[in-house]
């Protein structure tokens, strides 16, 4: 009667270019496509992560071109109409992961068992779990507490009911950590906790996600390199190092330094003993003038996980648009004064006089080695730039200006700096001539960050397996920060060493008992701090130095606000964060922001259920 080929086809016509789920998941390539789709969803998050991680911190601020949404974020006054306030992107990824995990478990149940040879399905399964944990972890850092959706739930009403009903979670890891990362007295194992609804806080999310990864992931990271012939594929998917990084980072934020160390150590350890190859040791690949290549290339010596963008493949982001002054970009965000000072007041090539004075306040710089200001491999024209009508000031001009500053010739400095815009350059680098590029990669994890995390945890981690010797761990921290941990191998440089700040002992950052303080602009020694017998003081000092190094090394990469949060929490001192952030405001607004940020609950965005757009 119907006169068409088949009844089935009439009632369920096949659609082209959108694929119904019932027609999908036939072979490995379908699964891979579905997984690639999840990475595409991650791309959608990059802009939000960067804005929320940096604009709330002390390194980035709005310009007068900024949209309402950006102004709201900077001012910690976030309405439900704000597009950056929406948690939807995270949950789109989470829902996508849940869906693919469920499908995989259904059609390839072998992924759930420990036995059998490792297949690509196993690797895929691992990626999904790690990726989802990353989404949850980032979301909880932003919102403070968020729903954790079990993968078994699919229907809207099921999920709604679950999220809004009280739940009891049995927290097998509910441990409160002391600042040194060791167990504190208040330890509860397997304590059932009743929550009014299924919103978990950071601690609970970290417990759930680490548990999920540790118990379900046997392997992660499909090696697409085999098919694609492009080695950068390895670090643009959630590989094993990326997983370790995420685990380490989650534990670090929880305060579980022991576990954090364990996972970071897997990234920093020797992978090939014979070749003495430390994959993520900071070697010469990106030293000095090559440092900037970190921003323009993808390389397994530095990059651990990168969200890739490519114009030719129509995968773009708005970074360049928000940062660049060159038409048609809109220059909505710029580096703060403090951000720039972090580089400009980093002095190179100076030496102390080192007399045998007992009055330390009389210590001075050696007149023949007063040093030069600026961080030439990471600062001007690399991480940031001074531009006039879109054209950057040259390095020489910047250097000249800094020298004038050193000589306190403010009048000349002001003259030079007239009409100058300060811009974030990191995402424009290598694309200066193409204002339409819009495809800078977003680095989620790289080696320098792990080194600095390691330095940070060794600062506090006053405990080594061999005994109670805190000095050793502080030195470890210094080594990661300065000249590399791997003394036996000259090829291994520390974070500062890589960019030339360890040519002399004095340029390195150390915490001996006497630490000299210097004027940031003239570099003149203007005092000293005596840490003799004051371990806590040394720890705080070193921690701040590490934080400043993070600001130089990792500025605008989306982590700054969480760095401040982590340290403020570790110290139990909200002023730490509040003061730093308030510094970029002026007048009454600075005070208002400071007051606001003294309250930890204002560090988190409200979890709006929907955006009212």
Partner 1 sequence: MVSAAILISVSLAGQSEIELNGKIFNSFQEPLGDVAVNYYGSLESPVITDTSGMFTISVPSGEVWLNISPVVGYMEKQVFLNDRKSITIYLVENEEESGYEELDYLGNTYRRRDIVSKINTGLGGDKFSNSYESFDQNLQGKVSGMYQTTFSGMPGSGTYMLLRGMNSINSGNQPLIIVDGIPLENPRGIHSTVSGYTYNPAASIDPTDISDLSIVKDGSALSIYGLKGSNGLIFIETLKPVETNTSIEFKYKLGMSFTPDTIPQLNSIAYKTLAKEILSSSTFKEEEYATSYPGLFYTETDPEYIRYSHNTNWQNEIFKNSILQDVYVSVKGGDDIARYGLSVGYLGHNGVIKNTNFNRVSTRFVGTFNIFSRMRMYVSANLVSSTSKYKESVLGNQTSPILSAFHKSPQMFPKRYDQDNQVLEAIDDVDELGISNPKAVVENYSARNSNYRFLTSFKVEGDISKKVKWNSILGLNINDIKEQIYMPNLGMEYYFDKEAYNVSQSLNNLLFMISNDNYLVFKDQIDGVHTISFRGGVRWQTNDYQEDLGISMNSNENDQYTNLGTGDNQLEFITGLNQKWTWLSNYYTGSYIYKDKYLLDAAISADFSSRVGKEAEGVLKLGGQPFGIFYNIGGAWRISNESFMKDNPTIEDLKIRVNYGTSGNDDIGNNNAFKYYTLQLYRETSGMIPGGFANETLKFETTSQFSTGLDLGIMENRLRFSLDYYNSRTRDMLIFEELPAYMGYEVYPSNNASMSNNGYGFSVNSRVFQKSKLSLDIGISASHYNSVITEMADNEIITNIPGGGQIINRVGDQANSFYGYEFTGVYSSRAVVPAGLVNEKGIPFGAGDAIFSDLSGPDDKPDNVINEYDKIVLGSSTPDYYGGVFMDLRYGRYGLHMHWQFVSGNEIYNHSRYLNERMTDLSNQSSAVLNRWIYDGQETNIPRSAWGDPVGNADFSSRWIEDGSHVRLKNLTLSYTIPEKMLFFRDLDLFVTGTNLLTFSKYLSYDPEFSSSFDPMMQGIDLGLMPITRTVMVGVKFGL
User: One symbol per residue from 305 to 324: x for binding partner 1 (CB under 8 A), - otherwise; what is it?
Assistant: ---x-xxxxxx---------
Which range in 34-42, 375-383, 472-480, 529-537 contacts partner 1 by CB under 8 A?
34-42
Q: Is 213 in the site for partner 1 (CB under 8 A)?
A: no
Q: Which residues, including other chains, have CB under 8 Å from residue 41's CB and lie 6 or more apart?
A: 89, 92, 93, 96
Region 428-457 residues binding partner 1, contact defined as CB under 8 A: 436
Cα–Cα distance for residue pair 119/605, rounded to 1 Å: 40
Name all contacts of 438-441 with Cβ < 8 Å and 24+ positions apart: 438/309, 438/311, 438/316, 438/317, 438/318, 438/319, 438/320, 438/321, 439/309, 439/310, 439/311, 439/315, 439/316, 439/317, 440/295, 440/309, 440/317, 440/319, 440/320, 441/298, 441/306, 441/307, 441/308, 441/309
10 binds partner 1 (CB under 8 A): yes
Residues 591-610 within binding reach of partner 1 (CB under 8 A): 607-610
Range 157-176, binding partner 1 (CB under 8 A): 159-160, 163
DSSP-derived 3-state class of residue 335: strand
Comparing CB distances to partner 1, the nearer of 319 and 576 is 319
Scan residues 381-420 and list those touching partner 1 (CB under 8 A): 419
Q: Do 296 and 437 contact (CB within 8 A), yes or no?
A: no
328 vs 512, beta carbon nearer partner 1: 328
Q: Which is nearer to partner 1, 308 or 604 (CB)?
A: 308
Residue 147 touches partner 1, criterion: CB under 8 A:
yes
Q: Is 37 in the site for partner 1 (CB under 8 A)?
A: yes
Site for partner 1 in 230-249 (CB under 8 A): 233, 236
Q: What is the DSSP string of 146-188?
A: EE---TT--SHHHHHHHHHS-EEEEETT-EEEPTTSSEEEEE-
Which of 35, 207, 553, 557 touches partner 1 (CB under 8 A)?
Answer: 35
602: left (phi over 0), alpha (psi -120 to 50) or beta: alpha
Q: Which stretch binds partner 1 (CB under 8 A): 80-88, 353-361, 399-407, 550-558?
A: 80-88
- Rounded least distance, CB 166 to partner 1, Å: 16
- Are the beta carbons of 282 and 492 closer than 8 angstroms? yes
Q: Is 43 in the site for partner 1 (CB under 8 A)?
A: yes
Q: Per CB under 8 A, which of residues 484..503 are in contact with partner 1?
A: none
Q: Which stretch binds partner 1 (CB under 8 A): 85-93, 287-295, 462-470, 595-603?
A: 85-93
Q: How far is the CB of 465 from partner 1 (least distance, A)?
A: 42
Q: Which is nearer to partner 1, 156 or 275 (CB)?
A: 156
The one segment of 26-34, 208-216, 490-498, 500-508 that binds partner 1 by CB under 8 A: 26-34
**Buried-state track 174-186, b at ≥16 Cβ within 10 A, e below 16:** bbebebbbeeeee
466 sits in the region (left: phi over 0; alpha: psi -120 to 50; else beta) called: alpha
Is residue 40 a contact residue for partner 1 (CB under 8 A)? yes
Q: Is 17 left (phi over 0), alpha (psi -120 to 50) or beta?
A: left
Residue 302: closest CA among 268, 340, 344: 268
Examine residue 12 and tell whether it contacts partner 1 (CB under 8 A).
yes
**423 counts as binding partner 1 under rule CB under 8 A:** no
Asked if 30 interacts with partner 1 (CB under 8 A), we say yes
Q: Which is nearer to partner 1, 153 or 175 (CB)?
A: 153
Beta bridge partners of 310: 315
Which residue matches tokens 């520390």? 494
Name the H helices within 509-573. 535-554, 560-571
Among 328, 488, 533, 587, binds partner 1 (CB under 8 A): 328
Give me the least distance between CB of 138 and partner 1, in Å please: 14
26 binds partner 1 (CB under 8 A): no
Interface with partner 1, residue 197, by CB under 8 A: no
Question: Which residue in 6, 16, 166, 487 binds partner 1 (CB under 8 A)?
Answer: 16
Dihedral over Cα of 153, 154, 159, 161: its sign: negative
Candidates 6, 26, 27, 64; binder of partner 1 (CB under 8 A) is 64
């Amino acid at each position: 009667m119907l006169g068409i080929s088949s009844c089935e086809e009439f009632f369920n016509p096949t659609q082209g270019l959108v694929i119904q789920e019932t027609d999908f998941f036939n072979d490995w390539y379908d699964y891979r496509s579905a997984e690639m789709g999840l990475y595409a969803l991650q791309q959608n998050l990059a802009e939000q992560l960067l804005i929320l991680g940096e604009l709330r911190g002390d390194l980035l601020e709005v310009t007068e071109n900024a949209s309402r949404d950006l102004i709201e974020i900077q001012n910690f006054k976030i309405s439900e109409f704000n597009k950056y306030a929406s948690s939807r992107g995270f949950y789109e990824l989470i829902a996508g992961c849940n869906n693919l995990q469920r499908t995989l478990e259904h059609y390839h149940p072998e992924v759930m068992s420990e036995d059998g040879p490792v297949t690509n399905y196993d690797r895929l399964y691992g990626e999904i779990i790690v990726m989802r944990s990353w989404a949850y972890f980032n979301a909880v850092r932003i919102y403070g507490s968020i729903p954790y959706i079990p993968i078994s739930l699919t229907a809207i009403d099921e999920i709604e009911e679950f999220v809004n009903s009280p739940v009891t979670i049995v927290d097998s890891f509910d441990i409160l950590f002391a600042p040194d990362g060791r167990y504190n007295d208040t330890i509860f194992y397997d304590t059932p906790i009743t929550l009014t609804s299924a919103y978990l806080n950071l601690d609970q999310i970290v417990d759930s996600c680490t548990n999920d990864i540790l118990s379900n992931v046997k392997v992660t990271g499909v090696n697409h390199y085999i098919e694609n012939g492009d080695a950068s594929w390895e670090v643009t998917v959630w590989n094993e190092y990326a997983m370790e990084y995420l685990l380490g980072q989650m534990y670090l934020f929880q305060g579980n330094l022991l576990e954090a160390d364990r996972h970071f150590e897997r990234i920093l350890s020797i992978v090939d003993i014979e070749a003495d190859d430390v994959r993520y040791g900071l070697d010469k690949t990106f030293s000095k003038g090559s440092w900037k290549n970190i921003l323009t290339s993808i390389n397994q010596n530095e990059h651990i996980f990168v969200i890739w963008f490519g114009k030719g493949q129509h995968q773009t982001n708005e970074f360049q648009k928000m940062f660049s002054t060159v038409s048609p970009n809109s220059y909505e965000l710029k580096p703060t004064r403090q951000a720039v000072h972090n580089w400009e007041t980093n002095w190179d090539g100076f030496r102390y006089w080192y007399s045998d004075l007992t009055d330390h306040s009389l210590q001075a710089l050696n007149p023949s080695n007063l040093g030069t200001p600026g961080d030439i491999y990471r600062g001007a024209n690399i991480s940031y730039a001074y531009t006039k009508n879109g054209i950057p000031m040259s390095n020489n001009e910047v250097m000249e200006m800094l020298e004038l500053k050193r000589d306190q010739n403010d009048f000349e400095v002001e003259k030079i700096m007239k009409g100058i815009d300060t811009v974030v350059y990191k995402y424009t680098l290598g694309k200066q001539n193409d204002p339409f590029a819009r495809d800078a990669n977003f680095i989620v994890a790289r080696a320098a960050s792990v080194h600095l995390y390691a330095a940070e945890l060794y600062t506090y981690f006053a405990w080594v397996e061999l005994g109670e010797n805190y000095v050793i761990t502080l030195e470890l921290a210094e080594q990661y920060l300065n000249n590399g941990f791997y003394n036996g191998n000259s090829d291994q440089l520390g974070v500062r060493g890589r960019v030339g700040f360890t040519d002399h002992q004095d340029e390195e950052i150390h915490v001996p008992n006497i630490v000299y303080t210097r004027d940031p602009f003239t570099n003149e020694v203007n005092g000293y701090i005596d840490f003799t017998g004051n371990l806590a003081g040394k720890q705080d000092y070193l921690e701040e130095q590490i934080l400043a190094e993070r600001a130089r090394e990792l500025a605008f990469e989306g982590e700054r606000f969480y760095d401040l949060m982590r340290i403020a929490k570790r110290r139990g001192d909200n002023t730490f964060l509040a003061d730093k952030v308030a510094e970029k405001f002026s007048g009454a607004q600075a005070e208002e922001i400071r007051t606001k940020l003294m309250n930890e609950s204002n560090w988190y965005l409200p979890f709006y259920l929907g955006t009212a757009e």
